[in-house]
Amino acid sequence: MANAAAKPAGRHGLRLLGLLLGGLCWLPGMVMAGSFYLGVQGGVSIHRNTTFNQGENNETRVIANYRDSGETASVVFGRAGPERGNFRGRVELELGHQSSDVSTMTFDDTDQAAPVEDDSDLDFSDGDSSSDDQEEREEGERFTVTNALGETSATFAFVSAYGDFNLWRRVDGILGLGLGVGEIEFSGHRAGAEGLVMNHKATAIGYHLAIGLGWRVTSFLDLEATYRQRSWEDVRLRAQDGSSSRVRVPSHNMQLGLRLLF
């Protein structure tokens, strides 16, 4: 069976990372002038479902679903470039952590169902081709464990570029992108009677896209509220039974933050 967790979307994400890396080449010129800043950010992190393999020949897909109460927090150090009309560019280094708890796990091996036997060459003397004369398809099994436990987390570092576009007085629209590396951990993933399913960690490349609003409270204090689509690509995991997977670990992140400029 082809690796169920290695999706084309993951490969497309890696190509996007290459394009984003090229886009960061203009950053050195931007940081030649402007103000340094320190900041903190924090908020809610909601992981999307992740799928990995289990069983002999990786025949079972395990789909982990997460609670909507994860968290993310980070500290940032950066430099804001000079004002150019209604635009100000920024570049920053971010160190942080995100985590979400597992709520349910679905075990699915229905793709392994046996194919229907071709009976077109058989001679039915009574002319009846009802289902009694055909082989029954043996369906695979799919079931969900609702008392699942475990946590998926990432400890990360990102280099990011942001643009602050003045919308009205001291209010800015924020657009940004970043590339980073993180240690992704699937810790203590248990599913009722199935026991411990996954307890593994790996290092992976990630990216994020950001959009939000900023408020320049004073000349030395900025506040912001942002949404970030963060994704870890091609994470290589090994399940408790030895099955291997390459997975994509995306998440939605709603954050509040402040920056102190100096």
Task: Work out whether the CA dihedral 222, 223, 226, 230 comes out positive or negative.
Answer: positive
**Calpha distance 206→249 (Å, rounded):** 9
pTM: 0.77
CATH number of 8-25+34-110+139-261: 2.40.160.20
Residues in Cβ contact with 109 at an 8 Å cutoff, skipping those fewer than 6 apart? 55, 59, 60, 61, 140, 141, 142
Ordered by start, the domain boundaries in the chain are 8-25+34-110+139-261
User: Residue 243 phi/psi, 5° resolution?
Assistant: -65, 140
Take residue 146 and report the two structure tokens written for it. Answer: 């609702």
Mind listing the pLDDT tens digit of every residue in the chain (262 residues)?
444 444 444 455 455 555 445 544 444 444 444 699 999 999 999 999 999 999 888 889 999 999 988 999 999 999 999 989 999 999 999 999 999 999 999 999 886 533 334 444 434 344 443 334 333 334 578 999 999 999 999 999 999 999 999 999 999 999 999 999 999 999 999 999 999 999 999 999 999 999 999 999 999 999 999 999 999 999 999 999 999 999 999 999 999 999 999 9
